[in-house]
Amino acid sequence: MAKTMIQNKLGVKTNTFYLPADTTSAQAFCEEFLEGEFAGFELSSTVGTDVATSYNQVTVVGSNTAGRKVYLNLAVKAGKTEDEIYTALTGLTLNGVKFDNIAITSMRSVA
């Protein structure tokens, strides 16, 4: 079955949800029912595996110079260091917040 992720932006708030439909059906639904801007992303393939032997559960807070924040919970490969996480996230923009400041608030190993 097709699956489409919808991002619906209304003002400064962005909502994300999934529809069990292909992009054509999802587009028709969004045009009929949603206000504001929207974009649909259809799942085309899956890469990787959902069986993890061990990983690090990481909680990150990213903020911009204006003080807006985004919180992320990530399952990171066990071999990755804090420096690698900082490097990967620096300059990234999520939900309108550019990661100027990054803080890892929690990093624990999960087996």
16: containing domain: 4-42
In a domain, residue 15? The reply is yes
Using CA atoms, how far residue 100 sits from 20, 31, 72, 81, 106, in Å, is 36, 35, 15, 19, 19
Say whether pLDDT at 46 is over 80.
Answer: no
Does 53 score more than 70 pLDDT?
yes
The closest alpha carbon to 6, from 29, 39, 45, 43, belongs to: 39
Residues 61 and 102 in one domain: yes
Are 60 and 106 in the same domain?
Answer: yes
Taking only the tens place, the pLDDT of each residue in 18-44 is 988 888 888 999 999 999 999 998 877
Report which of residues 47 and 42 the model is more confident about. Answer: 42
Task: Give the DSSP letter string of 22-56.
Answer: -HHHHHHHHHHH--SEEEEEE-----S-S--S-EE
Query: Is a pLDDT exceeding 80 seen at residue 56?
Result: yes
- 61 and 88 together in one domain: yes
- If asked whether residues 102 and 65 sit together in one domain, one would say yes
Query: Is 80 part of any domain?
Result: yes
Number of domains in the chain: 2
- Residue 48 placed within a domain: no
**What is the rounded average pLDDT of the residues 43-67?**
83
